[in-house]
Amino acid sequence: MINAFLIAWPLFSVLLILAMGKDRAKWTALMAAIVQFCVTIYAWTQFVPTAGVQFGTDMEWIPQLGIHFNVGIDGISMLVVLLTNLLAPLIILSSVRKNYERPTLFYSLVLIMQAALVGVFTARDMFLYYIFWELALVPIYLIVLIYGAENRVKITFKFFIYTMFGSLLMLVGILYLYYLTPAPHNFDINTLSNLHPDAHAQGWIFWAFFIAFAIKMPVFPFHTWQPDTYTTAPAQGTMLLSGIMLKMGIYSVIRWILPIVPMGVQDWGKVALVLSLIGIVYGSWIAITQKDFKRLLAYSSFAHVGLISAAIFTLTLTGLQGSMIQMFSHGINIVGLFFIAQIIYDRTGTFQLPNLGGLMKKAPVLAACFLIILLGSVGLPLTDGFVGEFMMLSGTYQASPWIAAVAGLTIIFSAVYMFRLYQSSMLGELKPVPSTRDENFEDVKGSETIVLVIIAFLVVIIGIYPKPLLDTTEPAITAILKNIPNVDIWQ
């Protein structure tokens, strides 16, 4: 029941927001998200990693078609649900100083999105999953379209069409699988996992699904919507996109592709892995000379996700566990970094690195938090990024030392572009601030400090003691790997 509550509560909160009116919208949304977070934490404490799917609800929805409202949380879902409901209050809190126009609309969209994301991460009926998948796209589309920066119409249109295209491919795959199920047909994950279509069909389904997920993640070469959208979206939109939404793609690969089309993975996983590897080097290399704060972060995120995706396709326990923990860490880090980008923009009116510099003098707290979060992103030991990065590289090593060597370039590249970012924004001489908005660059205060300190704290805590998170996912990951025949495809 908890799971159903987690989906229903944000939707119900939308009504609350509408009832409370626009002056109290942000605080209502924040309270709703905090309640949601507390329930999630409670669920996590009650969660037994080895006990499979828990907190589930299963009832008939459209019986004629065998569609169920079937949700439930296993280890993999637990982690991403935790991430979603942890980041949502932070993202809402990060917006309280911002004063969006039409706040009821904005916060309603955020909460609808949260509900849809929890739905995506817990649905165990593929039709339901697809509904949530599409539902998650609508609020973020509107957020970017209504609140975005210049050029938003064109860019959101591209984003929408691009993701729609992937979704439709996936829909074809879903329907194909549906008609393979024994009559009366259904969409249940267990049925689908036991279908075992022939290898040829699995290849096609693999690509239909993978392209959909690859666009969402994104994986090279399906990524070009991402930097534009991240740059254009309002800060909170970018945080939702990069922190949670791209996890939909990664999660879905683990949740749906690996169990349903294992032979497809064996045949084509290497191609996906090579694409991911290209993405790592390609994204990092581009990031080195980017001059736009947000665009640089977008490419860095793209490179990091490449590593996560590569680690999944090594089909090793270490690699998959690494990608799970890295999903979590990446969500936290990238939200923090985009928030910092926004804080700087709010005060200076620019994302252009050549116009920034020397902010450390004015804002030591910001600089310190930035450094910690950045170190997490760079993957320094004792920060959250290292645990995942180490395990993922270890997984890729088990696949092949050469893959590990290429993927490992990320630790050099990330140092190059991240420290360049830090240097050009925080260090050096203070540049004259181009905006008239804020003559004197203020340090972070109030809600900004709270958000940044929480994130910085999480960065360090997860780096030092990742065991609870690892324990949560390990049994579920092991179960998925067990169902793939010949897991050691690389040996």
DSSP 151: T
Which residue lies nearer to other proteins by CB, 18 or 281? 281
How many angstroms separate the CA atoms of 116 and 118, rounded? 5
Residue 172's identity, in one-letter code, is V
Instruction: Return the number of the residue (88 or 359) whose C-beta is nearest other proteins.
Output: 359
Please say which residue, 103 or 388, places its beta carbon nearer to other proteins: 388
- Cα dihedral sign for 243, 101, 296, 438? negative
Q: Which of 153, 168, 288, 461 binds other proteins (CB under 8 A)?
A: 288
How near is the Cβ of 416 to other proteins at its closest, in Å?
6
The label of the residue with tokens 């990092």 reads 284
User: How many chain residues bind other proteins (CB under 8 A)?
Assistant: 57
Phi then psi dihedrals of residue 68, to 5 deg: -115, 150
> Half-sphere exposure of 107 toward its Cβ, with a 13 Å CA cutoff?
36
Q: Which stretch binds other proteins (CB under 8 A): 51-59, 232-240, 332-340, 395-403?
A: 395-403
- Contacting residue, 79, 341, 387, 458, with other proteins by CB under 8 A: 387
Give yes or no for a contact between 476 and 49, defined as CB atoms under 8 angstroms apart. Answer: yes
Per-residue x/- mask for other proteins, residues 198 to 227, rule CB under 8 A? -----------------------x-xxx--
DSSP annotation of 432: P
Question: What is the rounded CA–CA span in Å between residue 31 and residue 235?
Answer: 20
- Torsion angles phi and psi, residue 148, rounded to 5: -75, 180
Q: How many CB atoms lie within 10 A of CB 99?
A: 8
Minimum distance, C-beta of residue 334 to other proteins, in the bound complex (Å): 20
Q: Whose Cβ is closer to other proteins: residue 66's or residue 408's?
A: 408
Among 398, 425, 433, 441, binds other proteins (CB under 8 A): 398
| 368 near other proteins, rule: CB under 8 A | yes
Neighbour tally for 228: CB within 10 Å:
18
Are residues 491 and 94 in contact, defined by beta-carbon separation less than 8 angstroms? no
Encoded tokens for 26: 């942000």
User: Which one of 31, 39, 409, 489 is in contact with other proteins (CB under 8 A)?
Assistant: 409
The nearest distance, CB 278 to other proteins, in angstroms, is 11
The residue (of 33 and 332) whose beta carbon lies closer to other proteins is 332
- From the list 243-251, 260-268, 305-313, 355-363, the region that binds other proteins by CB under 8 A is 355-363
- Shortest distance, position 439 Cβ to other proteins, whole Å: 20
Torsion sign over Cα 123, 125, 127, 128: negative
Residues 384/329, Cβ–Cβ less than 8 Å:
yes
**Helix, strand, or coil here: 427?**
coil
Residue 338 beta carbon to other proteins: minimum distance, rounded to whole angstroms: 20
Interatomic CA distance for residues 84 and 465, integer angstroms: 20
408 binds other proteins (CB under 8 A): yes
44 binds other proteins (CB under 8 A): no
Selected binder of other proteins within 98, 158, 185, 270 (CB under 8 A): 158
Peptide bond into 262 cis (omega under 30): no
Stretch binding other proteins (CB under 8 A), from 37-45, 78-86, 126-134, 376-384: 376-384
Which stretches of the chain bind other proteins, using CB under 8 A? 158, 161-162, 221, 223-225, 282, 285-286, 288-290, 317-318, 321-322, 358, 360-361, 364, 368, 375, 380-382, 386-387, 390-391, 393-394, 397-398, 401, 404-405, 408-409, 411-412, 415-416, 419-420, 423, 426-429, 464-467, 470, 474, 478
